[in-house]
Amino acid sequence: MNLHEYQGRDLFASYGIPVLPGEVATTPAEAKDAAKRLGGHVVVKAQVHAGGRGKAGGVKLADNPDQAAEVAQAILKLKIKDLPVRKVLVAKAAEIKSEAYFGITLDRAARRPVVIVSAAGGVDIEEVAAKTPDKVIRHHVNPKTGLTEAEALEISGRVYSNADHAKQAADILLKLWKVTSEKDTSLVEINPLVVDGHDKVLALDSKVVLDDNGLFRHPDLEELRDPDSETKWERMAREMGLSYVKLDGNVGCCVNGAGLAMATMDLIKYYGGDPANFLDIGGSSSPEKVLTAMKIILADKNVKSIVFNIFGGITRCDDVARGIVEAVKKGKIEHPIVVRLTGTNEEEARKILDESDVEVTPAKTMDEVVQLGIRAALRSKIDSVS
């Protein structure tokens, strides 16, 4: 789950990381009032879950409250990477002497958190990393000891030649480490970390990605979830405990287990088809879960056939079969459905499907179910624009 900049900066501020005062506004009038309270000279910034806002015209300076209203109006009309801007952050503007990049993420290959810093921060950091990777410094942290003061000083000393700036930045880095270790984040990022006109080191932007698997420990952060950031179907999936990712193909997939779901998608590609989604119905099953899964898959109008690939362990095949029968009857589903159910209670499952008047094509192997699913999608009479 991503936090918005204003939420991330509040989190940073609560850890003592210096940020400039700011307020959220949803209308030009609110932006104007906020600018008045902040002394007039402000920066107005789009709050959307997308990087590169600066380059897309989503970050603008204003000299006075009227101008703040004007730029807020323009920014609130923008779509950045297809996302409509509904809120702006109005913050006191800083005079910028230098822009650095400071971040901490997880290096899965190294199985360690990694601190990433660069003196060449700002809106071009991706280009810097791609073209001049030697300007980006990486430091792996031992998770047992955590980031030490000495390490933090050493790292920031490589970014700042001025000892006072380096000390301030090291302090910020230690606080950033505290955020990442206490809040289960997969990324915390300050870009730019600036030195301002008064030689103060400040965080002018924030990016925080929370690890969804750790969110249950942070109900206060869960509450910050932006309902606009997921579709109705993604929300439905999350609430039912299903993992769903929409893709662009036409073969709907309903699978149990993330690994099997990935393998099924790979196999669809291998046989020349195109998966419409990743969907993992999870370890345990119930007919309701399957019903929800079908609803979610069919909400995507590109879907022309549905492949069920279920390996029954804790998931019971009979539960899945009951879900399929119920969903087809209730939802009057006309899509061709191809089913491979193997493992726990597969005999019962077959019986349920056979005895129902619901039409599904059975398959024995993974190859078979995938090939039949692709063929069914090609022949399907389902109109993709209906």
The entry of Mn ion, ligand GDP, none near residue 94 (CB within 5 to 8 angstroms by kind) is ligand GDP
Residue number of the CB closest to Mn ion reads 205
Catalytic entry in 5, 23, 101, 346: 101
Q: Which is nearer to ligand GDP, 59 or 210 (CB)?
A: 59
Active-site residue, 189 included: yes
Least distance CB 343 / Mn ion (angstroms): 48
DSSP state, residue 2: B
Tokens of 278: 């990743």
Q: Which is nearer to Mn ion, 205 or 300 (CB)?
A: 205
Sites of contact with ligand GDP (CB under 6 A): 43, 45, 51-54, 59, 61, 93-94, 96, 99, 122-123, 191-192, 204-205
Residue number of the CB closest to ligand GDP reads 54
Sites of contact with Mn ion (CB under 5 A): 191, 205
Extended strands (E) in 155-198: 185-196
The whole-angstrom separation of Cα 141 and Cα 149 is 12
Interhelix angle 366-379/258-270, nearest 10 degrees: 60
| CA distances to 98, 104, 120, 171 from 135, in Å | 15, 16, 7, 22
DSSP state, residue 85: P
Least distance CB 36 / ligand GDP (angstroms): 17
Least distance CB 92 / ligand GDP (angstroms): 7
Grouping H, G, I as helix, E, B as strand and the rest as coil, residue 302 is coil
The torsion angles phi and psi of 372, rounded to 5 degrees, stand at -65, -40
Q: Which is nearer to Mn ion, 30 or 205 (CB)?
A: 205
Q: Which is nearer to ligand GDP, 43 or 306 (CB)?
A: 43
Of residues 19, 13, 3, 16, the one with CA closest to residue 205: 19
The entry of Mn ion, ligand GDP, none near residue 93 (CB within 5 to 8 angstroms by kind) is ligand GDP
368 near 308, Cβ under 8 Å? no
The entry of ligand GDP, Mn ion, none near residue 122 (CB within 5 to 8 angstroms by kind) is ligand GDP
Residue in the structure block whose two tokens are 């869960």: 222
Grouping H, G, I as helix, E, B as strand and the rest as coil, residue 330 is helix
The entry of ligand GDP, Mn ion, none near residue 43 (CB within 5 to 8 angstroms by kind) is ligand GDP
Catalytic entry in 5, 23, 99, 189: 189
Q: Which is nearer to ligand GDP, 41 or 178 (CB)?
A: 41
Task: Give the residue numbers marked as catalytic.
Answer: 101, 189
